[in-house]
């Protein structure tokens, strides 16, 4: 049911900060997506010779000192550093100044699926090798998930809501959707929202290889992530962050902000099926898309574009396609459905933030990045996946999907903004 009370305050995207395996920077990431580039390569950060998977989407050329004071860097896990960088990029992109942010009407909501896994591993090694008195005094603030949001709040002086969530691969979508709700109902006027993840650690990679979830196409890393393709063999782990600036529309217009898109709908559901696998009938995915569409006051046929969860796993891509067909009916054949994970890999808790940002950019530029590596059609995946080349198109409404372990689902509907 449409929640009319939430239509009184409109919410728009005025800043986008992307740190991805393609680039550190929003425009650089966007241009690489349009060119159909892959950010997947052999892993370099630790010895992977004993792993069955030796590829991933590392953020390349990332210098935390470009965004964070040297004395503060050592207090932060890599996932927090990514979040800080993405927030800095988003704030700069939005044109906001410190006075705009230093308010109890401004807040932060940045989550992570895993948090400081690298710091946990390193301090556990120190504990075993050198004893408890050698564990870092910064260990706990490096490890816990809400420190990314907290550090951003401290940096900018936001004194409104300060939240973090951990809903697996739906984290970024839920953070943005919850922030949309906060602004719509009047709890805040401005939110810095998204997700961050740094899972490419020895234990993180071992965990995902153990459950046989990730691609082993080690000899062709750039071709390993191939959503909806018949020869897909699992997702490719990635890292990075996606952070958006959400503002109440009137506030954004008064300061002359550039508006990328309007957030108009949000849905959350649970599969209630399995800890790691999607429901085979796509029920939870279908219901979350429908909830987001109904929340926006739309019909399914009003949507032109879907940035799919599209992980490149045999189960997800098949069930997501089925769910799209169940929601959109005959209109499904007219939709453009892409998976930018074909280029970035799967950023887990950061995926929803990154992909909401990409969806907003698609609406702003009226262009859709491709799904690369689509070579062998799968009869169970028979929609228009924008194969292998970017496409200009008229997009009024875009849908961004995220589905996570534990059966947690999130979807956002964004609308092309037309200035009144």
In the annotation, is 346 catalytic?
A: yes
CA 298 to chain centre: 24
Helices (H), 185-282: 202-210, 249-254
Q: Which residues contact 164 (CB under 8 A, 6 or more apart)?
A: 109, 110, 111, 112, 145, 146, 148, 149, 150, 175
Does residue 411 come out as left (phi exceeding 0), alpha (psi in the -120 to 50 range) or beta?
beta
Q: Which of 163, 174, 346, 397 is catalytic?
A: 346
* Three-state secondary-structure class, residue 381: strand
Q: Which of 163, 174, 309, 397 is catalytic?
A: 309
In the annotation, is 365 catalytic?
A: no
Distance of alpha carbon 182 from alpha carbon 280, whole angstroms: 33
Q: At what angle do helices 351-365 and 171-184 cross, to 10 degrees?
A: 60
What the block records as the tokens of 133 is 């008195």
- Of the candidates 90, 154, 120, the residue with the CA atom closest to the CA atom of residue 353: 90
**Residue that the structure tokens 């050698």 belong to:** 134
352 close to 168: Cβ distance less than 8 angstroms: no
How far the first Cα of the chain sits from its last, in Å, is 27
Q: Backbone phi, then psi, for 356, in 5-degree steps?
A: -65, -40
Q: Which of 169, 174, 381, 397 is catalytic?
A: 169
Q: How many CB atoms lie within 10 A of CB 48?
A: 20
**Residue that the structure tokens 């953070």 belong to:** 175
What the block records as the tokens of 81 is 């550093």
HEC secondary structure over 168-196 = HHHHHHHHHHHHHHHHHCCCCCEEEEEEE
- The catalytic site residues sit at 169, 309, 346
């Amino acid at each position: 049911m449409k929640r009319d009370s939430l239509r009184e305050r409109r919410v728009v995207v005025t800043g986008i900060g992307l740190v991805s395996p393609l680039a550190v920077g929003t425009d650089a990431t966007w241009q690489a997506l349009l060119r159909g580039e892959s950010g997947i390569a052999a892993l370099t950060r630790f010895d992977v010779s004993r792993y069955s998977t030796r590829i991933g989407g590392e953020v390349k050329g990332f210098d935390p000192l470009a965004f964070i004071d040297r004395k503060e860097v050592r207090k932060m896990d890599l996932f927090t550093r990514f979040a800080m960088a993405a927030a800095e990029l988003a704030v700069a992109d939005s044109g906001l100044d410190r006075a705009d942010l230093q308010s109890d009407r401004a807040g932060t909501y940045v989550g992570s699926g895993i948090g400081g896994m690298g710091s946990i591993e390193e301090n556990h090694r120190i504990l075993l090798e050198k004893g408890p008195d050698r564990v870092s005094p910064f260990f706990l603030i490096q490890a816990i998930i809400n420190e990314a949001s907290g550090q951003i709040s401290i940096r900018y002086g936001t004194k409104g809501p300060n939240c973090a969530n951990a809903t697996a691969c739906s984290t970024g979508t839920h953070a943005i959707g919850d922030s949309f709700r906060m602004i719509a109902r009047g709890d805040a006027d401005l939110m810095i929202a998204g997700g961050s993840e740094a899972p490419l650690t020895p234990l993180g990679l071992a965990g995902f290889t153990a459950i046989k979830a990730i691609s082993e196409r080690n000899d062709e890393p750039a071709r390993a992530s191939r959503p909806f393709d018949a020869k897909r063999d699992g997702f490719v782990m990635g890292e990075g962050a996606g952070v958006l600036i959400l503002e109440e529309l009137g506030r954004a217009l008064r300061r002359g902000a550039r508006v990328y898109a309007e957030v108009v709908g949000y849905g959350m559901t649970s599969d209630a099926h399995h800890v790691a696998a999607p429901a085979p009938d796509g029920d939870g995915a279908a219901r979350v898309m429908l909830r987001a569409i109904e929340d926006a006051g739309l019909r399914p046929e009003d949507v032109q574009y879907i940035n799919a969860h599209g992980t490149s796993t045999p189960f997800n891509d098949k069930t997501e396609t089925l769910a799209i067909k169940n929601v959109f009916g005959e209109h499904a054949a007219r939709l453009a459905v892409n998976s930018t994970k074909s280029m970035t890999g799967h950023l887990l808790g950061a995926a929803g933030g990154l992909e909401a940002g990409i969806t907003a950019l698609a609406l702003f530029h009226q262009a859709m990045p491709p799904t690369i590596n689509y070579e062998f059609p799968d009869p169970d995946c028979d929609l228009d996946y924008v194969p292998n080349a970017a496409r200009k198109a008229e997009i009024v409404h875009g849908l961004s999907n995220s589905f996570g372990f534990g059966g947690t689902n999130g979807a956002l509907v964004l609308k092309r903004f037309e200035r009144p």
